[in-house]
Amino acid sequence: MQVKDFREEKFGYAVIGTRGEVCLATQKAKDHLRAGAHLDENEYKPTVMTVNDPFRLEAPLIVMLEVTRQCNLTCGHCYISAGEPRENEMDTETIYRVLDELKKLKVFTIFITGGERSFAVTSLISSTTPRNATSLSR
């Protein structure tokens, strides 16, 4: 895997490749990862992990951020029954704050979805959003 980014976890590392593939690696992968080298997933794959209770990653690997339920269409297949916005939807400033927070946590991939996202914010993808932020098109 060609490493795009990684973050430290208690057991070692969570790693994302340039093609969006994700793997876990032991602490032995440290030098390899810091050098930005190609990572042999099998060589560094954790085979035995001590799981503390409760086991959790430092942050999610993937986040689906639904910025609004508002939509001007009413497709029968819509998985959120879009139409009117929910009460207490995030304003644009809050959405950016959440994106900044997710970036700090090194969440690898963020799907920005709705509803019709342009009702919530017109320009979501910017230099302030994480590198892997993806705006889902319908």
Nearer to ligand SF4, 26 or 119 (CB): 119
* Shortest Å distance, C-beta 101 to ligand SF4: 25
Of the pair 51, 79, the CB lying nearest ligand SF4 is at 79
CB of 64 to ligand SF4, least distance (A): 13
CA dihedral for 86, 92, 94, 95, sign (positive or negative): positive
Per the listing, tokens 């819509």 go with 78
Question: Smallest gap, in angstroms, from Cβ of residue 96 to ligand SF4?
Answer: 22
Q: Please name which of 61, 75, 69, 63 lies closest in space to residue 112, comparing C-alpha atoms.
A: 63
Q: Which is nearer to ligand SF4, 20 or 83 (CB)?
A: 83
Query: What distance in Å separates the CA atoms of residue 25 and residue 27, rounded to the nearest whole number?
Result: 7
Q: How far is the CB of 77 from ligand SF4 (least distance, A)?
A: 6
User: Using CB under 6 A as the criterion, which residues of the chain lie in contact with ligand SF4 when the complex forms?
Assistant: 71, 73-75, 78, 82, 114-116, 138
